[in-house]
A and B are shown apart, each in its own frame.
Chain A
Amino acid sequence: MPAQAGTVVAPEVLWWALVPLLILAGAAVLLLTVASLVRRLPEWLPATWTVVAGLAVLVAVVPLWNRVQDDGARSFLAGSVGIDGSTLFVTALLAIAVVATALLSRAYLAREDLPGVELYVLLLLSAAGGVVMASANDLIVMFLGLELLSLAVYVMAALHLRRIQSQEAALKYFVLGAFASAFLLYGIAFVYGATGSTRLARIAGYLSTTVLLEDGMLLAGLGLLLVGLGFKVAAVPFHAWAPDAYQGAPTPVVAWMAAGVKAAGFAALLRVFVLTFGSWSGEWQPAVWGLAVLTVLGGSIVAVVQTDVKRMLAYSSIAHAGFLLVGVQASSDRGTAAVLAYLGAYTLLACGSFAVVTVVGGAGDDRHGLDAYRGLGARRPWLAGAFAVLLLGQAGVPFTAGFVAKFGVIAAAVEGRSYALAGIAMLAAAVAAFVYLRILVALYMEAEGDAVEVDVAPWGPRIVIAVSVALVLFLGVVPGPLIDLARDAVPVLVGG
Chain B
Amino acid sequence: MIAVFASASPSFPVLPALILTPLLGALLVVVVPRSRPELLKLTAVLSTMATGAMSLWVLFAFDAGAEGFQFASRHVWIEDLGISWLFGIDGISLFLVVLTGILFPIAILATDPEHDSRAYYAWLLVLEGGVMGVFISLDLVIFFLCFEIVLVPMYFLIGRWGHGNRTYAATKFFLYTMAGSALMLVGIVSLAFLHADATGGALTFDLVVIAEAQSVATDAARWVFLAFALAFAVKVPIFPLHTWLPDAHTEAPTAGSVILAGVLLKLGTYGFLRFGLYLFPEATHHFAPVFLVLGVVGIVYGAVVATMQKDLKRLVAYSSVAHLGFIILGTFALNTEGIEGGLLQMVNHGISTGALFLLVGMIYERRHTHQISELGGLQKSAPILAGVFMVVMLSSIGLPGLNGFVGEFLVLVGTFNAHRWYAVVAAGGVVLAALYLLWAYQRVFHGPAEGDNADMPDLRLREGLVLAPLLALIVVLGIYPKPVIERMEPAVDALVEHIERHVDGFQEPTSRMGIDIALDGADSGGDH
Contact = CB atoms under 8 A, between A and B. Distances in A.
A32 to B, nearest CB: 44
Contacts of B170: 441, 445
Contacts of A440: 155, 159
Instruction: Please classify the interface of chain A as helix (H, G, I), strand (E, B), loop, or mixed, using the class held by over half of its residues.
Output: helix
Contacts of B2: 478, 480
A427 interface: yes
B145 interface: yes
B78 A479 contact: yes
A414 B174 contact: no
A444 B78 contact: no
Contacts of A49: none
B78 A480 contact: yes
Contacts of A454: none
A399 B182 contact: no
Tier of interface size on chain A: 20 to 34
A350 B146 CA distance: 25
Contact of A430 (B141, B166, B175): B175
Interface in B126-174: 141, 144-146, 148-149, 151-152, 155-156, 159-160, 166-167, 170-171, 174
Contact of B152 (A392, A407, A419, A431): A392
B476 interface: no
Interface stretch (B93-101, B184-192, B356-364): B184-192
A427 B189 contact: no
Contacts of A484: 80
B81 A423 contact: no
B4 to A, nearest CB: 11
B79 interface: yes
Given A398-B148, A430-B179, A478-B1, A444 B159 contact: yes
B175 A437 contact: yes
B3 to A, nearest CB: 10
Interface string A37-60: 000000000000000000000000
Interface in A217-240: none
B182 A398 contact: no
B193 A415 contact: yes
A426 B148 contact: no
B178 interface: yes
A261 B179 CA distance: 31
A415 B79 CA distance: 17
Contact of B171 (A423, A434, A483): A434
A82 B149 CA distance: 42
Contact of A419 (B78, B159, B166, B190): B190
A249 interface: no
A398 B145 contact: yes
B76 to A, nearest CB: 9
B1 to A, nearest CB: 6
Contact of A426 (B80, B141, B152, B182): B182
B388 interface: no
Nearest to B184: A426
A446 B179 CA distance: 24
A446 B189 contact: no
Contacts of A68: none
B149 A414 contact: no
A429 interface: yes
B183 interface: yes
B49 to A, nearest CB: 25
A437 B174 contact: yes
B189 A397 contact: no
A411 B82 CA distance: 12
Contacts of B227: 423
A445 B161 CA distance: 9
Interface in A391-439: 392, 397-399, 403, 407, 410-411, 414-415, 419, 422-423, 426-427, 429-431, 433-434, 437
A397 B179 contact: no
A397 B152 CA distance: 8
A202 interface: no
Contacts, number: 88
A115 B145 CA distance: 47
Given A414-B193, A434-B171, A437-B175, A422 B186 contact: yes
Contacts of A441: 159, 167, 170-171
A407 B175 contact: no
Given A410-B186, A444-B159, A398 B149 contact: yes
Contacts of B151: 397
Contacts of B193: 411, 414-415
Contacts of B141: 407
B427 to A, nearest CB: 38
A419 B186 contact: yes
A403 B179 contact: no
Contacts of A422: 186, 189-190
A444 B145 contact: no
Given A397-B149, A444-B159, A479-B78, A414 B190 contact: yes
A106 interface: no
B167 A446 contact: yes
A311 interface: no
A423 B186 contact: yes
Given A414-B189, A445-B167, A426 B174 contact: no
A487 interface: yes
A444 B160 contact: yes
A483 B179 CA distance: 26
A292 to B, nearest CB: 14
A426 B185 contact: yes
Interface of A: 392, 397-399, 403, 407, 410-411, 414-415, 419, 422-423, 426-427, 429-431, 433-434, 437, 440-441, 444-446, 478-480, 483-484, 487
8 contacts: A398-B148, A403-B145, A407-B189, A414-B193, A427-B179, A445-B170, A480-B2, A480-B78
9 closest pairs, A vs B, by CB?
A426-B182, A398-B145, A430-B179, A414-B189, A422-B186, A445-B159, A398-B149, A430-B178, A430-B182
Given A427-B179, A480-B79, A483-B78, 15 more contacts: A392-B152, A397-B149, A398-B146, A399-B149, A410-B186, A410-B189, A414-B186, A419-B190, A423-B186, A426-B182, A427-B183, A434-B171, A441-B159, A444-B159, A479-B77
